[in-house]
Structure 1
Amino acid sequence: MPTPDPQRFANEWVRAWNAHDIEAVLAHFHDDVVFTSPVAARVLPESAGVVRGKVALRHYWNTALKTLPDLRFEVVGVYQGCSTLAINYRNHRGELVNEVLTFDGDVVVEGHGTYLT
């Protein structure tokens, strides 16, 4: 399956994150999305790093943003696979991160935040 236009999607994604506009980010996610991240495990320990559903994802990201008022991303590269985009970005701490997103049509059904160890 195809993905949305990679550059357009990444531009909208980073613009929404840098504006701290969680609703604009979530507009691209399916109601039943599954998202994994080691940050989710820290912010919401009960999640064990797995966030299920858009409502829970909204809660996670809003909770995390309250502790990260200087959050800002810079896209380094965008990689396209089959039904998948990987957005490589530098965060506000200068760390390189990858967001790997799997699509069903134009919406993300699965996402993974991945970090250097």
Structure 2
Amino acid sequence: MDAREFTEAWVTAWNAHDLDALLSHFTEDVVFTSPVAAQLTGSAVIRGKDALRAYWSEGLRRIPDLRFEVVGVYSGVDTLVINYRNQKGGLVSEVLHFDGPLVREGHGTYLGDDDNPAGATA
């Protein structure tokens, strides 16, 4: 996996609000955690690609001006961290763990407290 190539595809898909392109990078049994997921769905843990699609669809519905600007990309062993600014200027890091070329686990992490992550709207 090329970190820069993946990140470019990831941010392009998010900024186009193209969930099919975005989800093509995730395993069917992906697990994703986020305090924003807890606000939108009632659970901080999203299990499976269909549930992830539903969560992100709701997020895009509620945040129609969603846009990300990548600040930094950090590579590890089977792990990628994408640090970005969201449409409100909030800093976010997405921590992605890979199984081969696909993401099997992801975590949205935000500056701020768990009750109101910076830039999150619900």
Per the normalisation by structure 1, the TM-score is: 0.95
Q: Map Cα deviations across residues 20-49 of structure 1 (whole Å, 9 max, x no partner).
A: 00111100000000000000000101xx20
Deviation at 1:107, TM superposition (A): 0.2
Q: Residue 93 of structure 1: CA displacement? A: 0.3
Q: Tell me what 1:42 maps to.
A: 39
Identity of aligned residues (%): 62
- Structure 1 stretches of 4+ moved >3 Å: none
Which residue number in structure 2 is paired with residue 30 of structure 1? 27
1:13 corresponds to: 10
Matches within 5 A, 1:1-117: 4-45=1-42, 48-117=43-112
In structure 1, how many angstroms separate the alpha carbons of the residues matched to 2:69 and 2:11? 7
- The higher relative CO (CA closer than 8 Å, separation ≥ 6) is in 1
How far apart are the structure 2 equivalents of 1:51 and 1:74?
24
> Cα RMSD over matched residues?
0.4
* C-alpha displacement of 1:16: 0.2
Per the alignment, in what secondary structure is the counterpart of residue 112 of structure 1?
strand
Question: Unaligned stretches of 5+ in structure 2?
Answer: 113-122
1:54 offset after TM fit, Å?
A: 0.1
> What number of residue pairs does the alignment pair up?
112
What TM-score do you get using the length of structure 2 for normalisation?
A: 0.91
